[in-house]
Amino acid sequence: MKPILASYKIEIFCFLLTLLSVTGIWQRSLDLQVREKGIIDYSIMKLEKPSNADSLKCTLQAIDNTPGAKELVRKNLMVDYFFMPGIYLAVAMWLMLIRKDTVKWAIWLLTGVAILQLVAWGLDINENNHLLAAVRSTDYTLPGISLELFKSLVTMKFIIVYTGIGLALLTCIFKRLVRV
């Protein structure tokens, strides 16, 4: 008898893609609302990957000094907690689904990169926790972490998830070409 989750793997994958899409659109809408409040050059990426400490401080000050912006940014970060399983688990599941009919080393590689998606998810949770603390802070810094370490962890998260997406795409393309 097959485990129940294995019986519904495509449905679960589709649910994760739906979760990813809905929360992604919601986050974009919240970003737009912050810009409509008057912070014209705002984006969540300015918080995730600020160019330097002064840039982060300016962004956090603008959020703090703009009525309603802080609540929208906080809401965006909260929605991101629901976006995370959508992206990381969808990529991990995609990698696991395409392992079938590949050589042994590819199975190991795809499985390893799928497992790394959980690391990226953990890094993203850590990032959000620090950003929420920074939005609440009165000194407009990232409490408890240096900016350099924070940016390194964010970069690592992006490298892991984009590696997973790229590897999945390449595997699908290769499998399609070999079958022809």
Angle at 39 between CA 78 and CA 50, to 5 degrees: 65
Model pLDDT, residue 8: 84
pTM of the model: 0.90
Instruction: Give percent above pLDDT 90 in the chain.
Output: 79
Model pLDDT, residue 2: 64
Residues in CB range of 18: below 8 A, 6 or more apart: 86
Q: How many CB atoms lie within 10 A of CB 147?
A: 14
94-142 pLDDT, tens per residue? 999 999 888 899 999 999 999 999 999 999 999 999 999 999 988 888 9
- Name residue 120's amino acid: A
Could you give the CA distance from residue 24 to residue 1 in angstroms, rounded to a whole number?
37
Mean pLDDT of 154-160: 98
Average pLDDT over the chain reads: 93
Model pLDDT, residue 77: 97
Instruction: Give percent above pLDDT 70 in the chain.
Output: 96
Model pLDDT, residue 14: 94
Could you give the CA distance from residue 100 to residue 96 in angstroms, rounded to a whole number?
8
Model pLDDT, residue 43: 87
pLDDT level of residue 5 (50, 70, 90 thresholds) = low
59-104 pLDDT, tens per residue? 999 999 999 999 999 999 999 999 999 999 999 999 999 998 888 9
Mean pLDDT of 24-43: 93
Mean pLDDT of 43-48: 88
Model pLDDT, residue 97: 93
Model pLDDT, residue 180: 45
Helix (H, G, I), strand (E, B) or coil at 132: helix
